[in-house]
Amino acid sequence: MTPLPIAAVSALVQLAADSPNGPQNLREQVKALCPRAPRRVNRLTELSLIGAQRCVQGLQLPPDTPIYMAFTSGCIADSVALVQDVIRGQAPMPVTFINVSSNMAGFYVASSLGLHSGNQVVACKDFAWEATLELALLSPTRGLLLGAVEECAWPLAEHRERMSLPPGAPMLETSHWLLADREIKSPIASLQWLRRFNSDTALFEFLGQQPFARNTLLNVQGADPAQVAQKLGLKPHVYENPANESRAYTGMPAALACISFIEQQQGAGLLHLNRSRDGAWYALYFTASNGR
């Protein structure tokens, strides 16, 4: 593939609070960032608007820039509430029902940024971030706006149970965004390649033939990072997420790792590897423009 130049990224990472009053209100942040903040939107849309606006930082994007959003469980809070309501015999509120469509988040982002190209939501069981990037790369447009957003549902104790997490496990809400511009002269980073493999053998055979920049860091998911690092002779990508809670659960750690590398530029390159439960791999290689 032709390398994809990255113009900007943003990361909103916050620890979900075990508050009896529910989550922290995001309305003021949305209003501060969006000139015409939409009313009556759900939390997933608010997280998306904050992340997208922070990434774009007031830039006027080409209107044909498509939006690709990666979700693992989408509007989980409203989905839970609506299912419980209808089974208990209560009719859904019309606005809540419309907004539970996961592509509504992208709609409000498109509306706030004046974009009118495709607005896609992509998911994949173990590879939501990677598969979304892969499909976005098929788009021929100059720009691409990619978001990976996850909300929690309250009560948090119930949500941990839903996600099969132990009681008290810290959980993150995240909104990661990446703006690519194929014509930008000074990108902050580039995605050099993205590949999928069906086996360990195919992956390591391919990696063995790749030239990596000196001081390329390694991020591994779904496999033993130390073992893979030793095999490849690369140093691990060590990052502290902005919520300062390295053990916290997030459904898309891949987005967190890749965006944090691009933001912090602690190495010259990042090799991100993710292995699924059935043994398939995605491999992504980013290079940083100012990496050390």
Distance CA 10, CA 280 (A): 28
98 forms part of the interface with another protein (CB under 8 A): yes
The tokens for 66 are: 């498509």
In this chain, which of 17, 123, 184, 223 binds another protein, going by CB under 8 A? 123
Which residue type does 13 have? V
* Shortest reach from residue 98's CB to another protein, in Å: 6
Distance CA 278, CA 287 (A): 29
CB atoms within 10 A of CB 230: 10
111 forms part of the interface with another protein (CB under 8 A): yes
The tokens for 59 are: 């830039």
Of 24-32, 84-92, 174-182, 205-213, the segment contacting another protein by CB under 8 A is: 84-92
In this chain, which of 44, 55, 61, 110 binds another protein, going by CB under 8 A? 110
CA distances from 67 to 120, 167, 194 (A): 6, 36, 19
Task: Please name the residue that has the structure tokens 């990108």.
Answer: 187
In this chain, which of 14, 42, 53, 72 binds another protein, going by CB under 8 A? 72
34 forms part of the interface with another protein (CB under 8 A): no
Query: Shortest CA distance to 271 belongs to which of 251, 291, 243, 242?
Result: 291
Q: Which is nearer to another protein, 111 or 215 (CB)?
A: 111
Distance CA 128, CA 102 (A): 14
240 forms part of the interface with another protein (CB under 8 A): no
In this chain, which of 184, 213, 223, 280 binds another protein, going by CB under 8 A? 280
In this chain, which of 35, 58, 94, 208 binds another protein, going by CB under 8 A? 94
Build a one-symbol-per-residue string for 155-184: x at contacts with another protein by CB under 8 A, - elsewhere. Answer: x--x--xxxx--------------------
In this chain, which of 15, 17, 54, 124 binds another protein, going by CB under 8 A? 124
CA distances from 146 to 5, 63, 192, 292 (A): 13, 15, 17, 26
In this chain, which of 23, 118, 225, 242 binds another protein, going by CB under 8 A? 118
Task: Please name the residue that has the structure tokens 């549902």.
Answer: 153
Distance CA 167, CA 176 (A): 26
Residue numbers at the binding site for another protein (CB under 8 A): 67, 71-74, 76, 79-80, 82-84, 86-88, 91-94, 97-98, 100-104, 106-107, 110-111, 114-128, 131, 134-135, 138-139, 155, 158, 161-164, 196, 198, 278, 280
